[in-house]
Structure 1
Amino acid sequence: MSKKVVRILRLLIELRYKYLFQFSIVIVERGSKLEVGENTKIIKSKIVVKNRHNLQIGNSCIIKKCTLSFYSDNGWRESSIGSNGNFNGVYLQAYGSFKCGDWNIFEQKSNTPMLTVFNGSLDIGHHNRFMNRFWIRYNANVRIGNYNNINERSWLRADEQITIGDYNQISYNVMIWDTNTHNIYTPSKRRELTEKYYPFFGYEYEKPSTKPVKIGSDCWIAQNAAILKGTELEDEVIVGFCTILLGTSIPFGTTVVNKVEYRFV
């Protein structure tokens, strides 16, 4: 029997046929588990659970026009979506643990795709709304509390640890990064990697410089702000438009803005 025939037979065995009536494809590899609660609707979506991963989806969720893939890696084998969750237009590829509580909204609202890719753990409380992008690498940990709102085109990028408290308002185009994102190699090394992995640019084999980012509760972060590695915001901090923070601690109840200077000619 050819390998192609074997793959087709395995797919037919692993396919959950009842979701075809909702125009969805749900595949659970042998050894993996998927539990779906009552009144949950999976519409025009694709869900894949592989590598002995266990996924639990709560009651009364709506998953629409999504692609959700779950794999086990770095010792992580459990993921869960709480009840009354709403996922709309989400692409999620999780090599690790994705856990969120009840009443969370993940929604693509702009023309920029909502890309949620990670290798590590993403742990979310309840009653949050996310329209941003996540990128988690190197088995990093991201912890987000309750009643937070993160708007379109904002980007959480973690290679170590990002922690966000409760009741935060995070605007558009906000960068929250705990990492330099890239290493600086010698020109000869960068050329070697570029040629070897072309057309994939920027390939690296080691974690860049990182330092955890922590955001407290009841903070406001304005549009185009950048909260970079090693930054800590205590509670009730306001970060002004286009403000850049790097490796600094902002005390409780403070408003911080970049210095603006004008030159009149």
Structure 2
Amino acid sequence: MIFLKVFWHLKALLKILFYKIIFFNKIKIGNNFTFRNNFSLLADGGKIIIGNNVFFNNNCSIVSHGKISIDDNCIFGENVKIYDNNHRFNNFNMNIKEQGFSIGEIKIGKNCWLANNVIVLKGAEIGDNVVIGAGCIIKEKIPSNTIVSMNCNLAKEPINYLK
């Protein structure tokens, strides 16, 4: 297991270096940022800021045309997707790919866990200490210290980390 962790960290360092060369000042990545297989990052006109001690599991992706910020100590399950843009599709006389994008912003606070298959869309603002259950689609404000359940409803009780 130690060999795999060393391998993942070395692979992450090389990929981070590649991202910094390709995207230059469009991305900022904090210390101890790690990810597993098939992680992808695209700052296509946008800006991505990732804090310290952030981990992405297998098959996660981030695409920014606007701005995405992820604060410290967040962890992401497998297949998490984060998009701050949507295709426009209101003109039925034009191909969708020619209509451009509507662009927004995404903020993810400190110490959050987004479980497997979560999708975060433009306009999402996730507070600190938030847990998002598997399979949820998030596109609105989620207050700090809450849990979003599998059926994507806010939990009735705030999280008490002191228990």
Answer yes or no: is the 8 Å Cα contact 2:20–2:27 preserved in 1.
no
Cα separation, partners in 2 of 1:63 and 1:219, compared to 1, 3 Å? closer
Whose RCO is larger (CA < 8 A, sep 6+)? 2
Answer yes or no: is the 8 Å Cα contact 1:233–1:250 preserved in 2.
yes
Cα separation, partners in 2 of 1:91 and 1:128, compared to 1, 3 Å? closer
1:190 — aligned with what? 95
| Higher normalized strand content (fraction of residues) | 1
Answer yes or no: is the 8 Å Cα contact 1:168–1:218 preserved in 2.
yes
Cα separation, partners in 2 of 1:252 and 1:229, compared to 1, 3 Å? same
Q: What is the CA–CA distance in structure 1 between the aligned matches of 2:134 and 2:23, rounded to whole Å?
A: 34
1:259 — aligned with what? 151
Q: What is the CA–CA distance in structure 2 between the aligned matches of 1:256 and 1:228, rounded to whole Å?
A: 15
Cα separation, partners in 2 of 1:184 and 1:219, compared to 1, 3 Å? same
SS in 2 for 1:126: coil
- Using structure 1 for the length normalisation, give the TM-score: 0.48
Answer yes or no: is the 8 Å Cα contact 2:23–2:43 preserved in 1.
no
Q: Map 1:66-77 onto structure 2 (within 5 A).
A: none
1:162 — aligned with what? 68
1:177 — aligned with what? 83
Cα displacement (A) at 1:95: 5.0
Report the count of equivalent residues. Answer: 142
Q: Map 1:194-233 onto structure 2 (within 5 A).
A: 202=97, 204=98, 207-233=100-126
Structure 1 portions without partners, runs of 5+: 1-61, 65-84, 99-120, 192-201, 261-265
| Higher normalized helix content (fraction of residues) | 2
Cα displacement (A) at 1:258: 4.2
SS in 2 for 1:214: strand
1:134 — aligned with what? 41
Aligned match of 1:240 in 91, 108, 133?
A: 133
SS in 2 for 1:86: helix
Q: What is the CA–CA distance in structure 2 between the aligned matches of 1:218 and 1:175, rounded to whole Å?
A: 18
Cα separation, partners in 2 of 1:63 and 1:96, compared to 1, 3 Å? same
Q: Which has the larger radius of gyration?
A: 1
Q: What is the CA–CA distance in structure 1 between the aligned matches of 2:119 and 2:105, rounded to whole Å?
A: 14
Cα displacement (A) at 1:187: 4.8
Answer yes or no: is the 8 Å Cα contact 2:84–2:105 preserved in 1.
yes
Q: What is the CA–CA distance in structure 2 between the aligned matches of 1:224 and 1:125, rounded to whole Å?
A: 24
Cα displacement (A) at 1:144: 0.6
SS in 1 for 2:47: strand
Structure 2 portions without partners, runs of 5+: 1-8, 153-163
